[in-house]
Chain A
Amino acid sequence: MTGATSVVKARTGRRTFASQRRQNLYGYLFMLPWLLGFFGLFIGPGLYSFYLSFTKYDVLSPPEFIGFRNYVNMVTNDDLFWPSLGRTAYYTLLSVPLSVIGSMFLAILLNSKLRGVTIYRTLFFMPSLVPLVASVLLFKWLLNSDFGIVNQGLRGIGVERPPGWFSDSQWAIPSLVLLRLWGAIGGTQMIIFLAGLQGVPTELYDAAAIDGANAWQSTRHVTIPMLTPTIFFNTVLGIIGAMQTFAAAFVATEGGPGFATWFFALHIWKQAFDYFNMGYGAALAWVLAILIVILTLIQIRLSKRLVFYYGE
């Protein structure tokens, strides 16, 4: 009896061993392309970039190790480091909250299941389909200070000196924010909010209605608290994206006028790919990465207090 069971055990043991080998073999075989990419395009370059950030490297002569000098230089010696960080922060603080609130607002309206709302949903989604470079050129034309239709309209209604938009250093970042809002509010962010709204149990609205809540009150006290996880998600992704903004600012103004839209990503690009200061560029890139990670961690920390998870 005992002999029989032990034989069975030994057999299954051997079989699980053989099958574990099979699992390993096929698991690694199937993820081999990704593994190559992970080491070749991610881990390898990541480590090399970390090393480069402690060197002076102009591509022509080999990297020269200089310790922390790149990092010290950027905070003490680089006229554009702090301003570019500040402009990036300004753009992020202006564009992310407005676009997240805008997306949420539209999603709530679209969720009201009225006739014809799908047409509006499609309409709001369309701008997010326009390729970024195309939408930048479009906004440069719309907001052209002399001949743009917006300023023509503003003059038409009696505004004597409408803003210079992209050509005015005060208005350049707000113009980029407008461009961003147009492209982002109705896009994926709004779709994520719509998906989030599907998850709000209808009994909560029924309960609110029985308590005599009006539309605004049930939005304020049911919908928005239930959407806090979605708000959190969109805000985190929005900040990560906004901090890395390059193409919009570069295509619109090349960082101008007068460095008004000289974002951090432009600074990295200029140092690394225009001046070929690869070591310094790598150091700047690491600073941006670390800032983004820190900001994300802070948000995760805050979310524990501010985000409401239903059913927990």
Chain B
Amino acid sequence: MATTSSQSSTPVIAVDHASSRAWRNQRARKLFIYTTLTIFGLFFAFPLFWTVSSSLQTWQELRSYTPHLLPEVPQWSNYADVFRLVPFARWVLNSFTIVFITIPGTIFTATMTAYAFARFNFFGKNIWFILLLSTMMIPAIVTFIPQYLLFFNLKLIDTYVPLTIGAWLGGGAFMIFLLRQFIMSIPRDLDEAATIDGAGPFRILWSVLVPLMKPALTTVAILQFLTDWNDFFGPFIYLNTMTRYTAAVGLRTFQNMALETTDPRDHLLMAGAAIMTIPVLVLFAVAQRYFVSGVVLSGLKV
């Protein structure tokens, strides 16, 4: 149909036809993309909405025959109840304590290691680098049992040492790799200029490189925060005393621990889930771009 019309009419009109069809295709494509994104968006958003909404309802409301999408009267007291019924404030504080220990550890020791790999040609460097990368591929469970026995014999069970020492001993291969990539992208001329000015390696790292590494170091700090904030297995295995629990382990315990009330506690668990998520969301709001820059920084050639 389109071809016959373009044959019978002048070329100008033919072009017009074609472009209007392209325009219609373009519109159909847009419509398809927006519709699909919106449907998926609702699936992704609804659970988040439901956490907040459930956390503000009474348990009777949540278990009524016709569910309420929104609370009749927002029950802000649910949040107060969480802090009253279980030591949730303590658990959140403990998670923050761990993060405050691990973040500086990773920043210091991963930067140092990355600097060694990026700037020095020491003996055996390539072999060490391969060994470094290989630690990323071996599942943590293999080393977990002996590590547990080690800390058990050192009487460090139920302390934060097993959960934080790794951060002070290099902070993990991925962090080191990421920072190494970043340092390698900084021109060596800067180091050399500083050397001529009489700066030694420590001074170069501290005064020349570290100031330039702020974006990478922020990314590392955020990744470390997310790792420890989310971690369940480590704190679950190593911590025994309830007041030493982290938010993740505490929230899980809250699920089935004996309380002064035997009423259903879904609304309280949702409040707890929301409380645990808020610090991550706040961090995301203020440092959004660093959440995704790890992918870019690692120079992942994919």
Contact = CB atoms under 8 A, between A and B. Distances in A.
A2 B176 CA distance: 48
B147 A33 contact: no
Interface string B114-136: 01110011110100100110010
Interface of A: 20, 23-24, 26-34, 36-38, 40-42, 44-46, 48-49, 52, 59, 106, 109-110, 112, 114, 117, 120, 122-127, 129-135, 137-139, 141-142, 144, 147, 149, 152, 182, 185-186, 188, 191-192, 195-196, 199, 214-215, 229-230, 233, 240, 243-244, 246-247, 250-251, 265, 268-269, 272-273, 278, 281-282, 285-286, 288-289, 292-293, 296
A133 B41 contact: no
B292 A123 contact: no
B251 interface: yes
B137 interface: yes
Contact of A131 (B47, B117, B150, B229): B229
Which size class do B's interface residues fall under? 35 or more
B54 A289 contact: no
Contacts of A281: 145
Nearest to B40: A106
A124 B143 contact: no
Given A127-B44, A129-B281, 14 more contacts: A28-B122, A33-B168, A34-B169, A110-B37, A112-B29, A112-B33, A130-B273, A137-B252, A137-B272, A182-B43, A186-B44, A244-B139, A273-B237, A296-B137
Given A45-B147, A130-B280, A133-B276, A120 B37 contact: yes
Residue with the highest number of chain B CB atoms closer than 10 Å, among A37, A127, A229, A292? A37
B229 A31 contact: no
B54 A141 contact: yes
28 contacts: A20-B121, A30-B201, A33-B168, A34-B110, A34-B132, A38-B132, A45-B150, A46-B143, A49-B145, A52-B145, A109-B37, A125-B291, A131-B277, A132-B232, A134-B273, A134-B277, A142-B47, A147-B62, A182-B47, A186-B44, A192-B302, A195-B296, A215-B25, A240-B139, A246-B232, A265-B141, A285-B139, A285-B142
B302 A152 contact: no
Say what secondary structure dominates the interface of chain B: helix
B50 A138 contact: yes
Contact of A27 (B34, B47, B125): B125
B15 interface: no
A139 to B, nearest CB: 7
Contacts of B176: 34
B286 interface: no
Say what secondary structure dominates the interface of chain A: helix
A137 B266 CA distance: 9
Given A34-B169, A46-B138, A133-B252, A285 B144 contact: yes
Interface in B16-53: 25, 29-30, 33-34, 36-37, 40-41, 43-45, 47-48, 50-51
A134 B48 CA distance: 11
A36 to B, nearest CB: 5
Contacts of A243: 139
B83 interface: no
B160 interface: no
